[in-house]
Structures are given as structure tokens and as C-alpha cells.
Amino acid sequence: MTVSDLSVTAKYINPYTDFGFKTLFGEEANKELLVDFLNQLLPQKHHIVNLTFKNPEKLGALKNDRKAIFDIYCENKKGGKFIVEMQKAKIKYFKDRSVFYTTFPIKEQAEKGEWNFHLKPVYCVAILDFTFDEKRKYKNFLSKVQLKDQYCRVFYDKLTYIFIEMPLFKKKENELNTHFEKWLYFLKNLENFETIPQILQEPIFMKGFEVAELANFDEGQLTEYEESLKVYRDFNCALDHSIEEGWKKGRREGKKEGLKEGLKEGLKEGLKKGKLEEKIETAERMLTDGFTVDQVIKYTGLTQMEISDLLKKEV
């Protein structure tokens, strides 16, 4: 299989796909890319010199406990833990999920026998292809969250959540001021680059372009990328369709019960119903194509029980 055989015309991978993201940031040979990216987000005292990739699948303490599967899970030389996620679509209880995920690298630090509870820093870094809180006053693309007291003083500085909302990053090439902004510009536009912009012609980004170039992939990698790209496109199509259906229902309800209130309620209900139907359709296709239950849950946001019901229907 060659690049021309794929249903893609891009020169570089889409980093929003599961395969693309892990190719850039989740492989031992390319970990300098992840180190450089993370160091733009960390305080100097927690900067990474080197890191080790750890098993991204974390099991609960008991057999039937919920497990977590991270996109990337790594540890620096001093024992600091880093969860790095590419989240493609908003899911219910997103903040709760982020907090739940950080309980795993915290609990695994517990030592047997006598232990003084001294913990290493834990960071959860999420690159989001959506905005998670449209109602907030400040629309910054970068949010750093720590536990604080009523006087806004940091109570605990070794647990940090970093959310990067890519739709809010709208800077153009001539507006980039920092190395971190160059990283975001690289990630947001990678699939659309035909040539390497002058401002990104630095060693670390040149390495990124080399890693991401489809012409450098073997047949197996190209096949895996094609499948990952299909899942990403299917999910986006399902999301777009549900939004469109929500607007249609909103307009219909608006004509009956008053334009303003009808649009509001119709959109709300239409989006809710449309999203669920499209998620179910996407889940059915993924299960048919051999994806695991955990992968389906991750990409669709459906619950374990909902997936179980689908499997029962197939039988």
C-alpha cells in the first residue's frame, strides 16, 4: 500500500487521530518531541530531562473496578507522572473523568509497609478538539488547574490539570510569539501543510515533520493510520449530523411554541437525541470492525452498560 492508495491527500498525518497522536508523542524513538512539548507547560522545577513510557492501561484495585486507558502515560527521572490525552469530542462528566484518571498515578505511588505518604507530582495534560466550558468569562486556549483554598492560594502544587482547547487557538504564522504557540500551530495545521513554514524550521519541529510524513510509513503503518483516520472522520460526521438535526428540530418546535423558546428547547432535545443515535451508530460500526469495548467507550462516550446492550442485540 502506498500513500496514494489511501483515502487521504495530505502529506502529513492528522495528529487528532489516535494513530497520529501516538506516532508523534507516544513512541520511544520520538520521545524528545513529547519532552519538548511538555516542558513548555511545566514549571522549571518539574522540567523533564528524560522520561520513560509506562503501561497506559491502569486496572482498579479490585477485579470489577473500572479501569483507565490513557493515550500516553509516562514518568520522568524524578518520578513525576504525566498523563497526556488527545480528546476528540466532549463527553459527559469530562472534568470528573479527568480527576478519576489522576487517581491511578497517585495510588500507584503507595508503598508497602511503613510509608510517609510523600507523593511525586502528577500532571494531566489534555489536548482538546472542543471547548469544555462555553459559559466561562475568559476564553483562553490554555487552562491550568490546581487545588486552591478560599483565598485562592495553592493548597497542593503537585496535582495539576492542563487543558489546551485547540478551537480557541486561532493565531496565524505571523502572530506566534512563543515556542509553545509554535507547537500548537504545528499540531493544529500539520495535516494541511504542503511545505514546512519558515517559522517552524527548527530542529525539534523538523523532527516532528519527519516523523509525521506519510511517505516514511511502511504498509502496516499506513493501514493502521487509515483505520484510525476513518474512526476520526466517522465520529466528526456523526457529531456534525447530530448538531444539524438539533437545529432542524429546534426550528420545528420554534414555529409551534414560539421562536425563541422553541429553538432553545428544540435544539437542546434534538442535540441530545441526535448525539445518542449517532454515537450508537458509530459504536455499532466500531464493534463490527473489531474495536475493543474500551476503544468504543473512549471514542463515543457511551457507558459500559450501553455497549453491553449493543453486544446483546448483535447476538
Tens of pLDDT along 50-72?
899 988 876 555 444 455 678 89
For position 248, what pLDDT does the model report? 56
Q: What is the pLDDT of residues 138-175, one digit of tens each?
A: 778 999 999 999 999 999 999 999 999 999 999 999 99
Whole-angstrom distance, CA of residue 240 vs CA of residue 234: 10
Residue bearing the bigger pLDDT, 68 or 229: 229
Confidence of residue 255 (pLDDT cuts 50, 70, 90): low
Helix boundaries (H) for 57-198: 94-107, 179-189
Same domain membership, residue 106 and residue 16? yes
Task: Give dist(CA 27, CA 21) in Å, integer.
Answer: 10
Indicate if the pLDDT at residue 76 is higher than 60. Answer: yes
Quote the pLDDT of residue 244: 56
Residue 156 sits in the same domain as residue 41: yes
Q: Which is more confidently placed, 240 or 283?
A: 283
Is the whole model's pTM more than 0.75, yes or no? no
Same domain for 123 and 48?
yes
User: Does the pLDDT value for residue 271 go beyond 70?
Assistant: no
In a domain, 2, yes or no: no
Using pLDDT thresholds of 50, 70 and 90, give the confidence band for residue 267.
very low
DSSP letter assigned to residue 276: H
Flag whether 69 is in a domain: yes
User: According to the model, what pLDDT value does residue 237 have?
Assistant: 65
In this structure, the answer to whether residues 143 and 167 fall within a common structural domain is yes
Flag the least confident range among 29-43, 79-93, 226-240: 226-240
User: What is the model's pLDDT at position 315?
Assistant: 46
Q: Is residue 192 part of a domain?
A: yes
One domain for residues 245 and 129:
no
Residue numbers of the domain that contains 284? 219-314
Can you give the pLDDT at residue 27?
A: 92
Distance CA 293, CA 140 (A): 34
Residues comprising the chain, all counted: 315
Predicted local confidence at residue 261, as pLDDT: 54
Residue 254 and residue 127 in one domain: no
For residue 112, report the phi and psi dihedrals to the nearest 5 degrees. Answer: -75, 150
Contact 150, 132 (CB under 8 A): no
Q: How many domains does the chain have?
A: 2
d(C-alpha 222, C-alpha 243), whole Å: 32
Q: How confident is the model at residue 228 (pLDDT cuts 50, 70, 90)?
A: confident
* In the chain, % of residues over pLDDT 90: 49
The residues, any chain, with a CB within 8 Å of residue 57's CB and separated by 6 or more, are 67, 68, 69, 70
Q: Is 1 a domain residue?
A: no
